[in-house]
Structure 1
Amino acid sequence: MTGSHHGKRILPELRTDVPSLTLRVLTAEHTDEYYALIDRNRKHLTQHGDYRAPATSDYETAHAELLHDPDPSLRCGILFHSALIGRVDLVAVNPPKYGFGYWLDHEATGHGYATAACRALIEYGATVVGATEVFAGVTHGNDKSGAVLTRLGFKVAETLETYTRYHRTLVASSCAYPAQR
């Protein structure tokens, strides 16, 4: 179920396979909640050298980012019991090829939330947006993030100096995932 506003696609609230875990588009009206999430996770966001930009954001910078409409990319908040616990983005690099990024509140890690949120957005990207390939980069040392991508069927595409690039080909008609171990 997608709506349209001035000819643009509107992302509905997406459910995941984890009860009470949903995704919604992050907009400027969510700045207070988003900034609070960044503020309590500054150390967590930079522990592997990644996510420096959001970690150094002040309120005005976070607000300005959320004011910008990323269309055709998707910028989503990850919510658990309606509380913002993270972010996941599907970035229109060269459609139908997309980049992918995500992060969670340090208190929310280890529960399968990232995997479930990413799975929901990837499926939406494949079936509604028409994404055929997704790429993600993981800074060396961030093994948990690499494990999320592996669970989602991504393969290592390239190992670079500071990060590993992952890739997954999507099939819109059946966005199947590998069996969980």
Structure 2
Amino acid sequence: MAGSHHDKHFFPELKTSVSGLTLCALDAEQADEYYALIDRNREHLTQNGDYQALAASDYKTAHAELLDDPSPSLRCGVLLHRTLIGRVDLVAVNPPKYGFGYWLDHEATGHGYATAACHTLIKYGATMLGATDVFAGVTHGNGKSGAVLTRLGFKVAEVFETYTRYHLALVASPCTYPA
């Protein structure tokens, strides 16, 4: 596993617009803190019928997930003053098209942290990965999650039986086009 330690350094700690709120690579080193976060949020995670598998995970499952190298996807911990309060992922479904997912500790919702964390990761994805499109699914009934996406500029792309798919088209910076 020669590359496993320096892989983490390729994803820098990212500052958000909220003081003390940062994103970092979420890996096995944070397994204890990550599992504790899942454990105290089991009810919160499943209130709208989503995140069932995550909420059901035991320590071994949560730890094993963090051992897997997510690349080319990005799996980030959301930290508030160095404490893990959530997770945000940019999933390389079909680059430059990416999937997107996020969740926060129930006590951390309602402060703009999700919006700030998501904005930062999407901007990073557009700049560093050349992402052109980001898609996210929101289970019906999860209005707060939909509101985060709407604030970020996502539009409803399709409505399915159990969830709504949102889409954000990212505009490349003008300097990338030939004159």
Fold agreement, TM-score > 0.5: yes
Alignment of 1:58-73 (within 5 A): 58-73=58-73
CA distance in 2, matches of 1:42, 1:10: 32
CA root-mean-square deviation: 1.5
Residue in 1 that maps onto 2:134: 134
Report how far residue 5 of structure 1 moved.
4.1
Please state if 1:90 is matched with 2:90: yes
CA distance in 1, matches of 2:173, 2:106: 35
CA distance in 2, matches of 1:163, 1:54: 18
Report how far residue 42 of structure 1 moved.
0.2
Structure ranking higher in helix proportion: 2
The unaligned stretches of length 5 or more in structure 2 are 175-179
Secondary structure at the counterpart of residue 60 of structure 2: helix
Alignment of 1:21-170 (within 5 A): 21-170=21-170
Which whole-Å deviations, capped at 9, do the CAs of 1:8-63 have from their partners, x for residues lacking one?
Answer: 98110000000000000000111000000000000000000111111000000000
Report how far residue 147 of structure 1 moved.
0.3
Report how far residue 64 of structure 1 moved.
0.3
CA distance in 2, matches of 1:124, 1:163: 26
CA distance in 1, matches of 2:87, 2:168: 20
CA distance in 1, matches of 2:132, 2:50: 26
CA distance in 2, matches of 1:11, 1:96: 18
CA distance in 1, matches of 2:36, 2:65: 15
TM-score norm. by structure 1 comes to 0.91
Residue in 1 that maps onto 2:20: 20
Report how far residue 103 of structure 1 moved.
0.2
Q: Percent sequence identity over matched residues? A: 78
Query: What code does the residue aligned with 1:103 have?
Result: W
Report how far residue 172 of structure 1 moved.
3.2
**Runs of 4+ more than 6 Å apart:** none
CA distance in 2, matches of 1:9, 1:62: 22
TM-score norm. by structure 2 comes to 0.92
CA distance in 2, matches of 1:55, 1:5: 30
Which whole-Å deviations, capped at 9, do the CAs of 1:151-177 have from their partners, x for residues lacking one?
Answer: 000000000000000000112327xxx
Query: What code does the residue aligned with 1:64 have?
Result: A
CA distance in 1, matches of 2:53, 2:10: 27
Matched residues, number: 170
CA distance in 2, matches of 1:172, 1:34: 34
